[in-house]
Copies of this chain bind each other. A is one copy, B any other.
């Protein structure tokens, strides 16, 4: 059983927790089992002492079990090939809890996938993975620049108080940060869509807005 912080496998896990660039960490027995069941290949690890494990993951989340996996890589075609469904593009959404919650919503409402524009929190970081509640395993996610998104020639929608409140047809829904909103390059090429509110708040939390838009799109497509 590994007890030293100088151990190479320990350092590798710690790097994956912090950087989640090529390898990522999944925490908890159920989440690790689900990842393997979803076809993710675990990277063999030695057993770490409880003290060592506690230094990188909180006991409540991991319950003493973590798995190290290759970071999944999706292709843009896997997202844009579905003609009927909505794609969500996040523009500068910095909070990993919001990003993970939107990954969960994308699975719940069968969104084609998520495009990360610059300035977003990484959905494969520990906090975002927890917020995704397992959905990170099967939602296609790609990173892209705004001009690549425009090059897809799909219909683009952005949330705006003055926009249409009708249901969204298929296309790309861009959600921006609450402070900055969506970048002007995209805004200028997009149709404005809105969620009716009482006017007693200036804006909605980005994950709450996503919940309403994605559910409406799902219900329209399934005819429920």
Interface residues of A (CB under 8 A from B): 97, 101, 104-105, 107-110, 131, 133-135, 138, 165, 178, 195-198, 200-205, 207-212, 215, 218-219, 222, 224
Chain B minimum-CB-distance residue to A195: B215
A133 with B215: in contact, given A97-B97, A222-B196, A224-B196 (CB under 8 Å)? no
Q: Is the CB of A135 within 8 A of B208?
A: no
Q: B residues within 8 A CB of A205?
A: 101, 104-105, 131, 133, 207
A133 with B219: in contact, given A224-B165, A224-B196 (CB under 8 Å)? no
Q: Is the CB of A107 within 8 A of B165?
A: no
Complex copy number for this chain: 2
24 contacts between A and B (CB under 8 A): A97-B97, A101-B207, A101-B208, A104-B201, A104-B205, A105-B204, A107-B201, A108-B197, A108-B198, A110-B198, A131-B205, A133-B178, A133-B201, A133-B202, A133-B205, A135-B200, A135-B201, A138-B200, A196-B219, A197-B218, A205-B207, A207-B208, A211-B212, A212-B212
